[in-house]
Amino acid sequence: MNSLRLFKLTLALGVLVAASAQADESGAAGSNFCGTVIGVPSGNHLIIEDSQKRVAMVRLAWVFAPEDPQPNGTAAQLRLDRLVYNKVGCAQVIARYPRKDGDPRDRYYGTVQIKDVGDVGLSMLRMGLAWHYVDYARRGQPANEFAQYAVAERNARSEGTGLWSDPNAIAPWVFQGKSIRVR
């Protein structure tokens, strides 16, 4: 490879890396927030710290795990913790939420990929520890991902895995008193 071509390739790569870093810092939809999982406050949320010590709360997109004190709420949180704690991953940001009063963390809604785990939300569905949040997923989840999530929940239900061992499992939004249609 001649030196001019190598220079152009290096320059182009540098521009791509800089653009990626800028998108990541913005937290805009479509950007990524990558780092180590340092906390799992619920079966729906991860706390990720990046290499610059910035910390973000990430709400897993397209799934809804039982909340504490709901039946299986603690189990969902503990299994998620065992699955992702202290592992490196990336959240693909779908939306950014305003910070809550007194909370210095950025807050994102997104899908999370962890090495050796894959899509964390999909893993929660496969373990029978979350519902596919169809009402929201229909509004924005890519079709192929929607289909994978639907199959994962259907399989967990039919196998009686996790929360589906209870034939009367109550969806978190019903438990919380919210009226959201599932299917």
Confidence band (pLDDT; 50, 70, 90) for 173?
A: confident
Domain 29-164 class? Answer: mainly beta
Average pLDDT over residues 95-122: 87
DSSP code string of the chain: --HHHHHHHHHHHHHHHHHHHHHHHHT-TT-EEEEEEEE--SSSEEEEE-TT--EEEEEETTEEPPPTTSTTHHHHHHHHHHHHTT-EEEEEEEEEEPPPTT--SEEEEEEEEETTTEEHHHHHHHTT-SEE-HHHHTTTS-HHHHHHHHHHHHHHHHHT-GGGGSTT---HHHHTT------
Residue 9 predicted with pLDDT over 50 = no
Looking at residue 156, what is its pLDDT? Answer: 97
Residue 146 predicted with pLDDT over 70 = yes
Looking at residue 161, what is its pLDDT? Answer: 95
Annotated domain spans of the chain = 29-164
Looking at residue 19, what is its pLDDT? Answer: 33
